[in-house]
Amino acid sequence: MSRRIRWGAAIVVSVGAGVALGLPPAGAAGARVTLSALSSRVDAGAPITFEVSAPGTSHRLGIALERQFGPRHEWRPVARVRAGASLQVSTAGLGMGRYVYRAVVMDGSRAVARSGLVTVFSYGKVSLPELARRSQETHVGNWGTGSIPVGGSPFTWQSNETGNDGPGQAASITAQNSSCRSIDLQFAVSDVAVQHGGVGQVGAELTQTSSAPQNSNGSAGLVNAANFTIDSPSWQVDLWASYGVEVYFTGTLSCWSPTGDA
């Protein structure tokens, strides 16, 4: 039975008509949503895929995938889907950077549930000279440019190191608060040093705070290559050769900021 309730001269609500003042509309009650990225580390320009889960949420509701924009961190939608128990949503790739996302259950223009925040890092290439010039947190010793003969062919270098005759000695590159996830190195000694000094071995080592050292041993007379995985904000690389002769090297890093700094 429905009866009308008066407050002063105004009719406030009709009880029994199926309307509850201040409660969410039917289907929105109990809405919840979770969000996760299939990978939180992606290559710049590659699509970013998320898993969205809204179990028990009415299919008539929508879900907006939102990303923070600009220095004021304003939330804007980048994709919209219908609510479902579990589904994947992909967005266009982005340039280098750190991006924050969330999922929002929408009933029309009204938000009724929000997920936690998900951070995605988008990585691009940074050359060793760029790192040396722009980073405030990474030091590259003796960087410059030049060319030496290696195995009878010219090798163009970007930095050099002298005096290390084995791993675990003076650092050629040191980083603090790094935004990089890997470094590719090419390194060699000059044919002149090989001919006059009898150099036989050359190598590179990466050490960092969160995992064991990584080593790459090479040979004189060759341009040697090393690929090291970086999983710590603090790391260093040292290059060495027999008798501590000069090692010349070049490199490219994969970082989520153009400066290599987090």
pLDDT tens profile 170-226: 999 999 999 999 999 999 999 998 888 778 889 999 999 889 999 999 999 999 999
DSSP 8-state symbol, 242: G
pLDDT at position 29 is 63
Determine the average pLDDT of the residues in 156-169. 91
> According to the 3-state scheme, what is the secondary structure of 124-182?
EEEEHHHHHHHCCCEEECCEEEEEEEECCEEEEEEEEECCCCCCCCCCCEEECCECEEE
Give the residue from 168, 162, 157, 98 showing the smallest Cα distance to 128: 157
Q: Which residues of 188-206 are buried (b: 16+ CB within 10 A; e: fewer)?
A: bbbbebbeebebeebbbbb
pLDDT tens profile 61-110: 999 999 999 999 999 999 999 887 788 999 999 999 999 999 999 999 99
pLDDT at position 57 is 84
- pTM of the predicted protein model: 0.83
All structural domains of the chain, each given as residue ranges with its CATH number in brackets, are 32-116 (2.60.40.10), 125-255 (2.60.120)
Residue 64 vs residue 1, higher pLDDT = 64
235, 175 contact by CB (below 8 A): yes
Phi, psi of 45 (to 5 degrees): 90, -15
Q: Give the Å distances, CA to CA, from 163 to 30, 167, 173, 174, 184.
A: 67, 11, 14, 17, 22
